[in-house]
Structure formats: structure tokens, C-alpha cells
């Protein structure tokens, strides 16, 4: 067969690779980011009810009105600001589709998009499929701080997009208001849009508050903000996300969305809308819920040789195995699967040019028993 691959160097994602290896080796998978506990039974009940009520045909392209109205109320609850469900909110197939649509909407051949490594793996392929290229700026472990002077030096007349992710997967760090101010100053008077991946908006630790681009008066005018009910409602398989952006950006995003997925599974949208109406505070305890899990896991691992790196947000936890081995993270992760029967996610695949580091990502969105078993296996591996 003769054709030219558009992404010749893109293989299977590291999440799929490690999950597949976990299955092959019978390992406990605390690598990939999905909960192993049930969703709220009230949410499940809403889905059964709306299907019974016949909510089974095409949803409107931009998302069902009830859900967009609930999202608008939720945004008001979180950030104290009003967003118009008609012109500023679009329901998508998970955060992933929103990211893809936003990229296609604003970048094209010859353009450049800036992304920060370690970068979530969906960004670069979307940019390349739009015919553009990514300029990757590495954040150095273990602090992973932004260097905004470096970003300024990377800007040129081709720069059209800057993608930020806060709380950031996989570094578990968060951007603060100063970072957003620096970003706003950089794009001022330039034709650059911001794509803010905020799917972990509700998972920040130690009393930190999320700095959303939506709450930043200047950035809000130039940004797509992407969210995910997969993360917020512990239902990653439902694939319901949404994008919030000013009307002009939303119009362009919807042009892509309507020929990409057209519309999202209607009973799921109605179910989430009903659930948010009936349980409007369902998501407010997320930080406390995950902080307890973070503290449980880090408490069990401290002193084991798998040293936890302080996590500010996301439902992940990094550990440094540098005291145990000088193996590459890919090799060491594979050894853990075989010998400790634990699947983790190495960090180097999230970098274009990985720095020297010995870090693995663990997912804490797991039952306490799962985290205890994982910690016991890691400790037993060291002994």
C-alpha cells in the first residue's frame, strides 16, 4: 500500500504501552490515570432515567442546553463569572476533543505552537495534523517552573498558540497568578491564542486555589479553556468534556467540532446535567478527597527509596527512584512491572529531549486498598 504517514514517528501512547504490559505481566496498574472505584450511584441513576425517558437521539451540535446551563452555573460557582451557554460553552468528546478542535481552529501550515515539556501527549499530534510545528520548552525537574524569558525568546511572527496545562500532568505542578500575568504580557498585541488545559481544575492541594485563564481578565479574551467531567465526576469513560472561549473563538472551534464528532452522546449529557442540578456541590470535595489519597501514598512510600516529589495538584504523584537505580526510567518501569508487578508511567516520553532524571508517575485515583497494595509491593521490591 502506498501512502505517506502524516505522523510517521508517532507510536502507541505510553499509557497504552504500560497498561498492555501490566496485563501481560499480571501487574497492578497504578500508571494510567483512571479511578478504580465506582462513580456516584446518583450519577448512574440519572443515566438510567434519561435513557428510559427517551433522550436517545442526536444532541445539538454545541451540546444540550441543560448541560451548558449547568456548566455556566458551575463556572460561576468556581470563578464568580458568567459565561454565556449559547455563545461561549461547547460540549466535546472529553477534554481531548476540545484540545484537538481548538488547535485545528487557530493554527495552520507554517504556524508554530509553544508547548511545555513534560507535555501531555495529545498536544503535539494535534498541532502537526494542522500542518504546524511545536516549539517545545522543557521545564526542569523537580520544580518544573516556567521560565517566561525563555518563552519570550521562543516567540516569533509564526507563533500562533501557546498551550499551558495547570494543574499539570505529569509534573503535578500548578501555574500561579504571576505565571498568568507573565503569559498575558507576552501575548499582548500579538496574534497568539492561549489553549489552557485545565482538566484538573478541582484538584489542587494544601489550600492552593486554581488560577484559571477564565478568571484572568486579559487572558480570558484570548483563550480556550478546556475541562473534563471525566476527571471531575470520576467517569473517564463517559468522555464528556467542554471548552469555554469568547464567542469569536467558540465559533471557530464549533466549525471543527461539527465535522469532527458533530455532537456528543445525548443521554450522557442529559445525565450529567441532571446530576449537577440535583447535586450541585458534587465536585466541591475533590481536592480534599485526592489530598487524603496523596498523603496516604506518600506516607507509605517515604523512606522506601521511592521518594515522593511534593505534588501541588492533579491526581498523580511523582516518585524519584534515583536512590535505587541508575537505569533509564523506561527500563526501570519495565523492571517494576516484571519484578514488583506494579505498572507506573515513566516521565521521559513526555519530553522531546528528556533531561537526566529518575522519575515515575503514579496515579492516586485509586481505592485506598489499591494504594496500600502498590506501596507494599514497591517496598518489597526494595528489600
Ligand X SMILES: Cc1ncc(COP(=O)(O)O)c(C=O)c1O
Residues making contact with ligand X (CB under 6 A)? 33, 94-96, 120, 165, 169, 197, 199, 228, 230, 236, 241
**Residue (59 or 340) nearer to ligand X, CB:** 59
CB of 49 to ligand X, least distance (A): 24
* Beta carbon nearer to ligand X, 236 or 325: 236
Which is closer to ligand X, CB of 169 or CB of 291? 169
Core vs surface per residue 96-129: b (16+ CB within 10 A) or e? bbbbbbbbbbbbeeebbbbbbbbbbebbbbbbbe
- Cβ proximity to ligand X: between 75 and 340 the closer is 75
Q: Smaller CB distance to ligand X: residue 228 or 370? A: 228
**CB closer to ligand X, 118 vs 340:** 118
Residue whose Cβ sits closest to ligand X: 94
Contact 224, 161 (CB under 8 A): no
Instruction: Tell how strand 307-308 and strand 342-343 pair up.
Output: unpaired
State the minimum distance, in angstroms, from the CB of residue 11 to ligand X. Answer: 18
Q: What cell does 290 get? A: 485526592
Least separation in angstroms between residue 314's CB and ligand X is 7
CB of 120 to ligand X, least distance (A): 4
Output the DSSP codes for 207-243. T-----GGGSHHHHTTEEEEEEHHHHTT-GGG-EEEE
Nearest of 83, 373, 381 to residue 221 by alpha carbon: 83
Instruction: Say how far apart CA 320 and CA 211 lie, in whole Å.
Output: 28
CB-nearer residue toward ligand X: 166 or 250:
166
Nearest distance from residue 208's CB to ligand X, in Å? 17
Name which of 257 and 304 has its Cβ closer to ligand X. Answer: 257
- In the complex, minimum distance from the CB of residue 175 to ligand X, in angstroms, rounded to a whole number: 13
Nearest distance, CB of residue 198 and ligand X, angstroms: 9
| Distance, CA of 333 to CA of 314 (rounded, Å) | 21
136 neighbors 258 (Cβ within 8 angstroms) = no
271 closest CA partner among 46, 44, 42, 69: 46
Q: Is 107 left (phi over 0), alpha (psi -120 to 50) or beta?
A: beta
Q: Which is nearer to ligand X, 227 or 321 (CB)?
A: 227
Shortest Å distance, C-beta 99 to ligand X: 6
CA atoms within 13 A on the CB side of 368: 7
Task: Give, as one character, the DSSP assignment of residue 350.
Answer: G
Least Å distance, CB 13 to ligand X, is: 10
What residues contact 114, with CB distance under 8 A and at least 6 apart? 134, 135, 136, 137, 151, 154, 155, 159, 161, 162, 163
Cβ-contact 27, 381 below 8 angstroms: no
Cβ atoms within 10 Å of 238's Cβ, excluding its own: 22
Amino acid at each position: 500500500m502506498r501512502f505517506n504517514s502524516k505522523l510517521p514517528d508517532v507510536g502507541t501512547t505510553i499509557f497504552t504501552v504500560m497498561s498492555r504490559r501490566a496485563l501481560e505481566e499480571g501487574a497492578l496498574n497504578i500508571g494510567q490515570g483512571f479511578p478504580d472505584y465506582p462513580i456516584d450511584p446518583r450519577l448512574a441513576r440519572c443515566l438510567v432515567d434519561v435513557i428510559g425517558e427517551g433522550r436517545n437521539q442526536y444532541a445539538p451540535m454545541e451540546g444540550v442546553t441543560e448541560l451548558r446551563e449547568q456548566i455556566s452555573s458551575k463556572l460561576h460557582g468556581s470563578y464568580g463569572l458568567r459565561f454565556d451557554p449559547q455563545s461561549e460553552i461547547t460540549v466535546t468528546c472529553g477534554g481531548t476533543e476540545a484540545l484537538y478542535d481548538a488547535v485545528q481552529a487557530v493554527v495552520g501550515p507554517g504556524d508554530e505552537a509553544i508547548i511545555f515539556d513534560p507535555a501531555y501527549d495529545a498536544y503535539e499530534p494535534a498541532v502537526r495534523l494542522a500542518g504546524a510545528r511545536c516549539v517545545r520548552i522543557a521545564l526542569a525537574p523537580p520544580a518544573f517552573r516556567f521560565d517566561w524569558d525563555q518563552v519570550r525568546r521562543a516567540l516569533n511572527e509564526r507563533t500562533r498558540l501557546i498551550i499551558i496545562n495547570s494543574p499539570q500532568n505529569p509534573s503535578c505542578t500548578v501555574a500561579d497568578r504571576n505565571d498568568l500575568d507573565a503569559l498575558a504580557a507576552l501575548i499582548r498585541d500579538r496574534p497568539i491564542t492561549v489553549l489552557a488545559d485545565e482538566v484538573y481544575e478541582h484538584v489542587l492541594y494544601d489550600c492552593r486555589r486554581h488560577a484559571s485563564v477564565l478568571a484572568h481578565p486579559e487572558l480570558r479574551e484570548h483563550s480556550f479553556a478546556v475541562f473534563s467531567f471525566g476527571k471531575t465526576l470520576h467517569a473517564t469513560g463517559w468522555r464528556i468534556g467542554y471548552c469555554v472561549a469568547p464567542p469569536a473563538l467558540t465559533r471557530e472551534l464549533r466549525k471543527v467540532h461539527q465535522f469532527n464528532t458533530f455532537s456528543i452522546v445525548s443521554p450522557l449529557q442529559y445525565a450529567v446535567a441532571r446530576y449537577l442540578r440535583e447535586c450541585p456541590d458534587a465536585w466541591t470535595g475533590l481536592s480534599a478527597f485526592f489530598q487524603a489519597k496523596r498523603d496516604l501514598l506518600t506516607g507509605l512510600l517515604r523512606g522506601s527509596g521511592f521518594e515522593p516529589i511534593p505534588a501541588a495538584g492533579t491526581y498523580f504523584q511523582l516518585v524519584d527512584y534515583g536512590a535505587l537505580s541508575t537505569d533509564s526510567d523506561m527500563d526501570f518501569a519495565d523492571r517494576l512491572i516484571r519484578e514488583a508487578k506494579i505498572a507506573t508511567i515513566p516521565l521521559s516520553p513526555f519530553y522531546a529531549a528528556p533531561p537526566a532524571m529518575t522519575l515515575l508517575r503514579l496515579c492516586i485515583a485509586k481505592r485506598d486498598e489499591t494504594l496500600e497494595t502498590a506501596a507494599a509491593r514497591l517496598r518489597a521490591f526494595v528489600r
